[in-house]
Amino acid sequence: DESKYQQFYKSSAWRKLSRRFLESNPVCVQCYQDGVIRKADVVDHVIEIKDDWPRRLDESNLQPLCYRHHNRKTGLVREQRKHQTK
């Protein structure tokens, strides 16, 4: 149910955790691996919450990403999901 996930991202628990996580991890990990220092804009779930709901607030399942890398990852995951459901 999509609304469950939308509600989670609006929750105070997620907003507090993601804000604190970005303060502690301000650099996009993908850019850093490429030798570039770029500010992280988004806290990303390494394993999506749709695939592992219990880990939604687990910091070991989070990574800081810039918008570009987050959008790229999201697009790849959506493509994979489309192919899995066929």
Residues 17-57 have pLDDT tens digits of 999 999 999 999 999 999 999 999 999 999 999 999 999 99
Q: What is the pLDDT of residue 1?
A: 65
Task: Quickly count: other Cβ atoms within 10 Å of residue 35's Cβ.
Answer: 6
Count of domains for the chain = 1
- Pairing mode, strands 62-65 and 42-45: antiparallel
| Domain housing 42 | 2-85
Gap between the Cα atoms of 14 and 10, Å rounded: 7
> Residue 74's closest CA among 5, 3, 7?
5
According to the model, what pLDDT value does residue 60 have? Answer: 98
pLDDT at 15 over 70: yes
Angle at 5 between CA 3 and CA 6, to 5 degrees: 60
